[in-house]
Structure 1
């Protein structure tokens, strides 16, 4: 039975005191249930033979109650670890830090099956939840960058894999910049990429070839087709400029300001209306950034061709380089555009309005500011036209 009066320990001898303190330690760790604690001490688990069925049912109801985990180590050091919406990553990381080893198991018959979200809004919200969980781990004390160095049970490649798992949402920040830069080039008439030297070109070419070689090795190892790889690349861009970007800001708001976010877990069971919501677009702010990027790049392409028509033959050469990058962004976001429009143009009006508004404001403000022109250039241009 549980000990409620700690002063009784002073009346016991050393052996009894050590037993009672050991029981207190087990109760603090696993909770106040003598049957459950006894089962954890059994070599192969199971149920103690001395427990009658009525006591077992009573103890089971007590253990599964909501308040059983309070003031115990459940959720902190044992069981599923709390503190992140991706508790599977956090739990696996702590297990590996304690010396557990994983084995790769991929049977011919799938061990688990579930239906993934099939419409755009639900899919992006699922990616947002995963990315937010990674940001939460990054901003917590369980960050793989520094957690578990004292025990030295986590191998360096394992730590590197976990670091990659938690930092990938932050790649959305440079990705958004890279997706907007082609439109900026077309709107301002400036080519942002400078002329590269031979050394810089060689380094860039080597990096590009290494990425291609890595992708080829992954294709060979996993048996994935080139089309599937390209679809995955497209969705990486779509999720990066939408769900991952929101996850970064929501993660910082949650950890610094205590603003919590509620998610609806994806249903894993399919029903009779399995494809009923395939073309359904639900209103969500996650749709605004990629829609805005699409509109800005399309406006930039139109502005670039208009400027080339007015500038004569010499303006067409630099235009193709700028348009290439803009089309590269549009091609990556094309599945998003296709899913956004749907079968019967069911895109929420608020998404289009906000996207058009943001794209228009960004284009007008950028052209007005023109940050690539310095004060000296402005003064010289004014002198040349007698202003």
Structure 2
């Protein structure tokens, strides 16, 4: 779809639709409130009419610490938004901007003076939030600043509380303006009701509650879903996405526009293979990309279960901005709370099935996107030169494996047992195997480099795919079996967004982090040792048989085993060579040695 962005922006400025922005957080310890509000402030500062922006924070942790940070952010936005728009700064996350602003030339004395003043205000706000977060409670002095803190008087725990809904900034309020008198975006805090006897369906349940609550408060026809660590890196992303929906010829077919998930803390060669650019881009040629849970603009109707209809969808476009909510903030708060209650979905069972994000699977985003496409909608992959969103990639191997376990081969023993799997190299039948192996890997490498990666980055990705296959996906399979048999409920593991200083330093040096004990590490270490033992056993077999490499039936298996050993070099280093805190725990080393030796003994027997 080719669009003249500049022409459409000027033509449709007045007709731009309202946008509802959902930011999701779940734990103030793993996802610090200071980080969360940077994402919130970055989307509040979009290059877009502020009265048409509505920002919602879903706090599934139900934390007054996060609410306090939102109160601070609502106040700081009054000086931050005018500064961003006056000087067209990028990015518009205060933390990211002030971290990179040191590289800017200070030729404009007015900008330099204002920047210094606002940076001082930001540092003060950040210090207050971090101090309060570290303390773990809200002081009585702070509680007096906003009526919303009274809600926590009746909160028993993060898993047992009523719906907490506070409209911190209401666009219809004449007082909701910045220091220059310009309107501010609507800003809403939501902690949906939680009761132990009701399953809350994790992020999917959180987003579905936001869909319902926002339909009562603002009802924007387009919804942007973001994780709390994915701040806006490009203030024009919203206009760019809207251009796809507003295209006269094909816009009515678009169900969602997916931006790639990009990270600001990737090492040069992406040691943990966190980038998914190749995979997401590959979908674009087959009906459009899948929905990956963040950085995605959705058509509200499509997300809520509407099937695509050519004529009906064209007609609906004209009425997008017809709905206006004139109630006061307090009225909207009172009437909207029931939409985020635990029992609401019992009366409307289509939520999580036909409407909103799908339930029953930790990768609710992917199956939701597929369901939207099955209803006839197209999806768009948009990857502008300046990344639309930047987040934080896992900085340890365990975080990466846990993440992929939520999202979701051992030929070596045959070598040790004397069972050939491939033809001899001297046989013509080896050619199909060689062709597939070489062409597939060459294509994979070329595709990766074409998307901006490096050879070392591609190699790291191959390593991570091996690790994920034998650990994350294996445990995910076990989890699903146990869930289907009724032994366990679905679980949602939150990936840590902060790292200790020494962990960050090792990540920057591209040293794999093995510092924690985990069954997944035991599996990876066992497989690495098994491949090493089998490689040695295979070499011994070839040398004792005194056969030519070309006539030996185990040559390809030995080469494959050698490749697996090379891929596993960081594991051997973590097991036996490294002395830092990121090495394999001794318990993992002991168990993996025992399991690998036992497997080899059984194979030989």
TM-score by length of 1: 0.62
Q: Is structure 2 residue 395 aligned with structure 1 residue 121?
A: no
The structure whose residues are more often helix, as a share, is 1
Whole-angstrom CA distance in 1 between matches of 2:212 and 2:457: 52
1:332 is matched with which residue? 567
- Number of positions where the alignment pairs a residue of Structure 1 with one of Structure 2: 288
Q: Is structure 2 residue 520 aligned with structure 1 residue 286?
A: yes
> What is the CA-CA distance between 1:101 and the residue it aligns to?
1.4
Whole-angstrom CA distance in 2 between matches of 1:79 and 1:362: 47
Q: Do the aligned partners of 1:238 and 1:333 also contact (CA within 8 Å) in 2?
A: no
Whole-angstrom CA distance in 1 between matches of 2:547 and 2:425: 21
- CA 316–360 in structure 1, closer or farther in 2 if over 3 Å, else same: farther
> What is the CA-CA distance between 1:362 and the residue it aligns to?
1.4
Whole-angstrom CA distance in 1 between matches of 2:580 and 2:502: 19
- Among 177, 182, 186, the alignment partner of 2:410 is 177
2:580 is matched with which residue? 344
> What is the CA-CA distance between 1:269 and the residue it aligns to?
5.6
> What is the CA-CA distance between 1:85 and the residue it aligns to?
0.8
Q: Do the aligned partners of 2:358 and 2:367 also contact (CA within 8 Å) in 1?
A: yes
Give the SS at the match of 2:504.
coil
1:75 is matched with which residue? 352
- CA 343–31 in structure 1, closer or farther in 2 if over 3 Å, else same: closer
Whole-angstrom CA distance in 2 between matches of 1:244 and 1:326: 21
> What is the CA-CA distance between 1:78 and the residue it aligns to?
1.9
> What is the CA-CA distance between 1:337 and the residue it aligns to?
3.4
1:86 is matched with which residue? 363
Q: How does 1:159-174 map to 2 (within 5 A)?
A: none
Q: Do the aligned partners of 1:116 and 1:266 also contact (CA within 8 Å) in 2?
A: no
1:130 is matched with which residue? 407
> What is the CA-CA distance between 1:126 and the residue it aligns to?
1.0
- Unmatched 5+ residue regions in structure 2? 1-209, 222-318, 508-512
Q: How does 1:1-387 map to 2 (within 5 A)?
A: 36=216, 43-44=320-321, 46-49=323-326, 51-72=327-348, 73-131=350-408, 176-178=409-411, 180-181=412-413, 184-185=414-415, 187-188=416-417, 191-195=420-424, 200-215=429-444, 217-219=446-448, 221-260=450-489, 262-268=491-497, 275=504, 279=513, 281-304=515-538, 311=544, 314=546, 317=549, 318=552, 323-339=558-574, 342-344=578-580, 346-368=583-605
Q: Do the aligned partners of 1:234 and 1:335 also contact (CA within 8 Å) in 2?
A: no
Whole-angstrom CA distance in 2 between matches of 1:290 and 1:38: 49
Q: Do the aligned partners of 2:449 and 2:455 also contact (CA within 8 Å) in 1?
A: no
> What is the CA-CA distance between 1:103 and the residue it aligns to?
1.5
Give the SS at the match of 1:102.
strand
> What is the CA-CA distance between 1:249 and the residue it aligns to?
2.4
Q: Do the aligned partners of 2:362 and 2:491 also contact (CA within 8 Å) in 1?
A: no
> What is the CA-CA distance between 1:190 and the residue it aligns to?
5.6
Whole-angstrom CA distance in 1 between matches of 2:490 and 2:329: 42
Give the SS at the match of 2:336.
helix
Q: Do the aligned partners of 2:471 and 2:520 also contact (CA within 8 Å) in 1?
A: yes
| C-alpha RMSD of the superposition | 3.7
TM-score by length of 2: 0.42
Whole-angstrom CA distance in 1 between matches of 2:417 and 2:330: 79
Give the SS at the match of 2:380.
coil
1:20 is matched with which residue? none
- Unmatched 5+ residue regions in structure 1? 1-29, 132-175, 369-387
> What is the CA-CA distance between 1:218 and the residue it aligns to?
1.3
> What is the CA-CA distance between 1:129 and the residue it aligns to?
0.8
The structure whose residues are more often strand, as a share, is 2
Structure showing greater radius of gyration is 1
Give the SS at the match of 1:66.
coil
Whole-angstrom CA distance in 2 between matches of 1:243 and 1:300: 23
- For residues 72-111 of structure 1, the C-alpha deviation after alignment (integer angstroms, 9 at most, x for no partner) is 2322222222111111112111111122211221123322
Higher RCO (CA-CA < 8 Å; seq separation 6+): 1
